[in-house]
């Protein structure tokens, strides 16, 4: 019964962060590294704004948690405030009661009050139907996955109908994650961010940016550029792979295809065409 639960906006104080980290650790395990330090960085340190979400309480027990992370994107030609669907967790004692759906709807209503106009997220094959059926999301497309040798050509003059906004301060925050150390490969007029995949000799290509946006204080290391295999994941039909030794990753070999999903919180313009979307791994929490 829902009367057994109290729903509250996130408590982002130190004790509140510790309780959230405890639930995330219990649900996902210590390998996920949801330490209080990491959760505080993810929820409180983002220059765009504090995390937006709700908790469900059963007495003094944190029963369920859902959070979104603020972002700004150029959406249909306008700089627009949005939310990235991020973490959801339900305590084993409270599953099967549709708490996630309730928490998500409360989060989106609260986000709309705060001026956020859309929610974007990446869902695996298991969770996608729930987002589409129960929460009113639309499926944009499965994320494209390529693997190969080298790096793609970058063209910053291209235009998109969806492009997440990054600047030096945001990249400094993003590359200072307590969870992972990133690598940066510097080219003539741009730099490319890489991360370890956990597989020996394989790096993930997370994103590319103009050289003037290279952070000065971020805890990245200089990439050597000698890793034999790299993986790229995202949506960007305008990215150039010509004369590059990259290949489409077979769908049957993907452990769980990831889908880009989107929900408008207002009655504004609809979804951009897939060909007009730039979505990089750095735009969400894959690494």
- Average pLDDT by stretches of 10, the chain with 287 residues: 86 98 93 92 98 97 98 94 97 93 98 97 94 95 91 81 96 93 89 88 91 85 71 89 79 73 84 90 93
Domains of the chain: 2-116 (3.40.630.30), 144-251 (no CATH)
pLDDT of residue 269: 63
CA 91 and chain centroid, separation: 23
- Distance separating alpha carbons of residues 38 and 72, to the nearest angstrom: 22
- The Cβ of residue 47 has, within 10 Å, a number of other Cβ atoms equal to 12
Angle at which helices 14-28 and 36-44 cross, to 10° = 110
239-258 pLDDT, tens per residue? 888 777 888 877 655 556 89
Q: pTM higher than 0.85 for the full model?
A: yes
């Amino acid at each position: 019964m829902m009367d057994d639960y109290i729903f509250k906006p996130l408590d982002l104080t130190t004790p509140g962060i510790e309780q959230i980290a405890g639930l995330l650790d219990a649900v996902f395990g210590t390998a996920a590294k949801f330490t209080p330090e990491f959760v505080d960085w993810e929820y409180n340190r983002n220059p765009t704004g504090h995390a937006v979400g709700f908790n469900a309480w059963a007495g003094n027990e944190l029963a369920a948690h859902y959070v979104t992370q603020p972002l700004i994107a150029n959406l249909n030609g306008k700089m627009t405030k949005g939310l990235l669907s991020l973490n959801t967790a339900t305590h084993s004692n409270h599953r099967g009661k549709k708490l996630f759906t309730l928490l998500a709807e409360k989060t989106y209503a609260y986000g709309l009050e705060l001026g956020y106009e859309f929610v974007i997220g990446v869902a695996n094959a298991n969770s996608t139907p729930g987002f589409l059926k129960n929460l009113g999301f639309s499926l944009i497309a499965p994320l494209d996955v390529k693997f190969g040798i080298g790096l793609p050509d970058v063209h910053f003059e291209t235009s998109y109908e969806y492009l997440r906004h990054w600047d030096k301060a945001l990249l400094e925050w993003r590359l200072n994650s307590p969870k992972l150390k990133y690598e940066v490969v510097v080219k003539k007029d741009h730099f490319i961010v890489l991360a370890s995949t956990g597989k020996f000799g394989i790096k993930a290509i997370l994103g590319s940016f103009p050289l003037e946006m290279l952070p000065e204080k971020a805890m990245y290391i200089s990439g050597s550029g000698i890793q034999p295999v790299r993986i790229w994941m995202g949506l960007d039909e305008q990215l150039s792979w010509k004369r590059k030794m990259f290949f489409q990753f077979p769908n049957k070999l993907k452990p769980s295809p990831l889908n880009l999903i989107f929900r408008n919180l207002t009655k504004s313009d609809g979804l951009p065409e897939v060909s007009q979307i730039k979505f990089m791994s750095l735009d969400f929490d894959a690494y």
